[in-house]
Structure 1
Amino acid sequence: MDFYQEKITTIHDFSTDDGAVVSHLIELSKTRPAALIIPMLYKEIKSPCLAKIREELNKCEFINEVVISLAADSREEYEHVVRFFRELKLDHIVVWCNGPNVTRIVEEMKEKDLDITQFKGKGKDVWIAIGVASLNSYAIALHDADIITYSRDFPAKLLYPILNPKLNFLFNKGFYARINKEKKTMHGRVFRLFVRPFMAALQRDVKYESYVLDYISAFRYTLAGEFALTSDIALHLRFPSDWGLEIGLLAEVYRNSSLKRTCQTDLGFYDHKHKDTGENITEGLCKMVNDIVLTFLRIANETTSVHISQSFIQGLYVKYIRFAQDLIRQHHADAICNNLKYDRHVEERYVEVFSKILLKTGNSYLETPLSIQMPDWKRALSAVPDLRELLRDAALQDLETVK
């Protein structure tokens, strides 16, 4: 625990609140309504995490609406999720993002030269949910559906700096310790062993040119999927559709806001389900690293004058390995002093796997430096002014058929 402030305003958890924040949030939400988005895959319905989240959300009187953006492969799966959330006392709507009604709206968007059918995954589902959630909310919070250590404090801590008019923040990102206290293990491998050392390597090569990279690196947990923002700024952001979502989102917030209106909040200890490494760049952690590399290279290309060449990629590769090895030594010391289990050999193996992906993905980027961002909602509404209402109506049509 500390009270250190850096480039981004940090909201610490000093354990002195005694429920005052939640009480104040209930009052604030009467004039500044808040929505919560939970993107999820159908398979997450089988996890006890989701039942815990539903139970804790029933204590969150300060949330005016919950939008569940669902990817399900059949109507049976969709209806199962709808019935599951009937025990949620808050106003809520399940948006079947790949269901026939929403898909029809998305297909019709192409008539206005607005094609998002090429995008798949969490980014697209979040984009759709933001459209629905922003209709009646001042602020929107978002978190995943697989959080093991969830409590009502999560959405409360995310929303309070946005809803409190005395603070005037537009964007708040969560950070936390990825520690399993029961098993005494340290997690967050992609962040600890790839993102941190890769950012250090990238910043070393672009030197002082990229204020965006400096901004991104100022956040304590770059890959945290928990954040809150005003509905207005949400409509101005271009969301990446893949695992580069969290990093690409920060670059977009930087373009549309300022340091003074950005903060990060301590969410305490955090644990969720853990992904497998994967056999190639289409699976698991390997897929995450691939998408993250592409996002960072796009940002560097857009915001600096650095020439991304084969020699540049090779330089990143060498520096990344060195910085990652230094971090492993530091994490090892931290683990020993906290009586955590820590296998340096396994950590080194992850670095070897991630470094190969960096080299392969970087070289493929040289051949095809394509953008993977979705259009912002302001552009979408310019093309289809009632698009948000159409998507909400499509979701409501789906709900009407569930007994």
Structure 2
Amino acid sequence: MSLRNAARRLTSVMAAAGLSLALLLPAGSAFADAGFRQWVASFRATAVQNGVSGAVYDQAFRDIRDADPEVLEKARFQPEFTAPAWDYFDNRVHDQSIAIGQQMARKWKPWLDRIEAKYGVDRNILLAIWSMESNYGETLKRDDIIRSVVRSLATLGYADQRRSKYARTQLIAALKILQRGDIDESQLVGSWAGAMGHTQFIPTSYQSYAVDMDGDGRRDIWNSIPDALATSANLLRKNGWQAGKTWGYEVVLPDGKKFPKGSMSLSQWQALGVTRANGKPFRNGADKATLKVPGGRGGPTFLMIKNFSVIKRYNNADKYAIAVGLLADDIAGYGGLVQDWKRPFTKLSFEERQELQQRLSEHGYYSGKFDGKIGDGSKAAIMAFQAKAGLTQDGHPSMEVLKWLRKN
């Protein structure tokens, strides 16, 4: 069989199997780039059929010559989240995220007043979402994270079979954002999966909820903080946010008692012996609430009311919504948890976590940023140091490890 015929046979077999040639070729190869450019050319008709002008399409792809290999790497290696509860919350609800949130509350108070009055959504919830989604906009400054939305979605639409339908739908929505004139293609940037702006909206969600709060004629969640926060508020309001109500309560459960699953009124929970952890009464006994025990009965326990489920419309994960609620309460100055997460080590402050990373770097174990966030790189470095020092290799960012590093 000739090389040409063999290539044709391989291509037909792969097509029958629903595979993309780009997945089997080295990133950046001439063959893969040609395939991507052919896909872009052929997808133009689909975009036009869905209301995107040919001129907008051509302009959007004018400087895009190849697929983004980093997007495919991130798409292929998305780890399953199995970390304990405290690990998730320690990286998101900490003294720095609280302090910056309080600074932003003061800085943007006039706009937050207007947004809260218009949409009825607690400003502290919006600030917490801003922190969770982009670290108050700091993530948007990182070239290792932020990339062209058009290129990212085209890459996924071309080469990622699992996300192809999602990516193509989002790509058409992104092109319509350009067509409307809210942003130009040089500023239409986002995460590898197409989440955009300070509050990380995918293009179809942007189309549904984006608002022009500052009145400049554009819905600019990339550069306008009022637009970004108001867009989040609009999402929450349209999904049933109850103005003037909280998201949930930290509670104490009576020892040795089992509780029914499902929703009951706060008064019914109270009748079963469930009380607020801070000793205060529930605000409205008629509110329906659901019990959540994210870290087991040794950690904090919550009764969640309607606004908790509304936050989950932003990100459908209990831990995300709890983190938003806890951070919002801390920014508001309501005080932290009464019962902290049960950790098998002594917790570090945010600055101590940064010091831990710096000392690991000085010892040659760590090469990342000193950002206080303990991800896989930090954990691997901790474990490498623990192995060298003869300690238990658990990867925990503990005071015990920091003290060893300080001594050595």
Report the TM-score range of the alignment, normalised by the length of the smaller protein: under 0.3
Structure number, greater radius of gyration: 2
Q: Normalized against structure 1, the TM-score is what?
A: 0.24
Bigger proportion of residues as strand: 1
Structure possessing the higher relative contact order (Cα contacts under 8 Å, 6 or more residues apart)? 1
Q: Normalized against structure 2, the TM-score is what?
A: 0.24
